[in-house]
């Protein structure tokens, strides 16, 4: 597993909070992402994502929309412009969900993005999810990334109540795994995933869904079917804590590195999926 941190590679470079959020939401293939702010903000963020993807020879560039706030809306408020942009996006008819990413400008002037999204979601009967990404108000690329992961998990059906579970018991699909928080601009993202998939195959396991790497809204809704969650990495622990909040599926908090780490990864994955010792030993 490649874990180099060289910043000589453009795909290692980060950006503002909005870019961090876009590297997650724009990879849900049948969801739209609206950047609520001036067009220049969306253009700068989209340009960096496109440049990194082209550098990595990835040509399926995601679409990114903007509410295109003008000077008038920056002074008097941009909520009406956001409502109009959401209405136009819904009318397009291609999207199963919409993410709305706030920006420094829209958050500074106090636009109530959460309420706009909530009301629009009820009106159009489609998930419309606000993402907090106010950069110079204390944000960072990492904050935007984590905020977007949290937003995407809102597409996961809520936990069933204890009464519901007793009335209709259900078990996760054995030997199925969710992959969470991959770095979509990382040069090795696909080769890292291929290696994880190969390691899991040694246990007879397969991937259920990825949050979020070229995944669909329907695939995210299958999240709770899995027997194990694997996070790309989580240095602050914030992603693991949130995933534990939304799901009681066991977690491995990082991809393995090195021979000993890989052996330990296989052993942990097998145990957490309740596999017998023989299966685990054969995989190792």
| Superfamily name and number for 172-283 | Nitrogenase molybdenum iron protein domain (3.40.50.1980)
DSSP letter (8 states) at residue 213: S
0.95 exceeded by the pTM? Answer: no
Peptide bond preceding 156: is omega within 30 degrees of 0, i.e. cis? no
Strand partners, 28: 215
Where the chain has pLDDT below 70, the residues are: 1-14, 135-138, 159-171
E strand residue ranges, 140-263:
176-180, 206-211, 228-231, 251-252
Q: How far apart, in Å, are the Cα atoms of 34 and each of 42, 219, 274?
A: 9, 21, 42
Coil, helix or strand for 281? helix
Residue 152, C-beta contacts closer than 8 angstroms, at least 6 positions apart? 24, 25, 28, 99, 129, 211, 212, 220
Give residue 113's pLDDT.
95
Residue 58: Cβ within 10 Å count: 17
Helix (H) or strand (E) holding 277: helix 277-283
Give residue 63's pLDDT.
84
Place of tokens 């040509």: 59
Strand partners, 66: 35
d(CA 125, CA 120): 8
Give residue 159's pLDDT.
67
Residue 195, C-beta contacts closer than 8 angstroms, at least 6 positions apart? 1
For every residue of 9-55, DSSP letters joined together read: SGGG----HHHHHHHHHTTBTTEEEEEES-HHHHHHHHHHHHHHHHH
Locate CATH 3.40.50.1980 in the chain.
Answer: 13-155, 172-283
Q: How far apart, in Å, are the Cα atoms of 79 and each of 43, 69, 162, 274?
A: 20, 10, 39, 50
The angle at the Cα of 282, spanning 276 to 284, to the nearest 5 degrees, equals: 105
Task: State pLDDT tens for residues 157-188.
Answer: 886 655 655 555 556 778 999 999 999 888 88
Give residue 104's pLDDT.
87
CA neighbours closer than 13 Å in the CB half-sphere of residue 264: 10
Burial label, 110 (beta-carbon count in 10 A; 0-12, 13-18, 19+): exposed
| Superfamily name and number for 13-155 | Nitrogenase molybdenum iron protein domain (3.40.50.1980)
């Amino acid at each position: 597993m490649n874990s180099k941190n060289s910043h000589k590679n453009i795909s290692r470079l980060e950006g503002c909070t909005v870019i961090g959020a876009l590297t997650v939401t724009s990879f849900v293939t049948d969801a739209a992402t609206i950047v609520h702010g001036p067009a220049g903000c969306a253009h700068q963020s989209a340009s960096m994502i496109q440049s990194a993807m082209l550098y990595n020879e990835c040509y399926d560039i995601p679409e990114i929309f903007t509410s295109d706030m003008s000077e008038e809306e920056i002074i008097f408020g941009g909520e009406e412009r956001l409502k109009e942009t959401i209405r136009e996006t819904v009318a397009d008819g291609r999207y199963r969900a919409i993410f709305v990413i706030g920006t420094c400008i829209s958050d500074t002037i106090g636009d109530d993005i959460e309420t706009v999204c909530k009301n629009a979601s009820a009106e159009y009967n489609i998930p419309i999810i606000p993402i907090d990404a106010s950069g110079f108000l204390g944000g960072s690329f990492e904050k935007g990334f984590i905020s977007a992961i949290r937003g995407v998990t809102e597409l996961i059906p809520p936990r069933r109540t204890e009464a519901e579970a007793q009335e209709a018991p259900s078990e996760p699909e054995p030997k199925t795994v969710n992959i969470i928080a991959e770095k979509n601009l990382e040069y090795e993202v696909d080769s890292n995933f291929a290696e994880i998939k190969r390691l899991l195959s040694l246990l007879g396991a397969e991937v259920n869904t990825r949050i979020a790497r070229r995944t669909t809204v329907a695939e995210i809704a299958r999240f709770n079917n899995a027997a194990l969650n694997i996070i790309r990495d989580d240095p602050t622990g914030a992603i693991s804590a949130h995933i534990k909040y939304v799901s009681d599926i066991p977690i491995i908090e990082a991809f393995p590195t090195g021979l000993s780490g890989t052996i330990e990864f296989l052993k942990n994955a097998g145990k957490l999926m309740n596999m017998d010792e023989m299966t685990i030993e054969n995989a190792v």
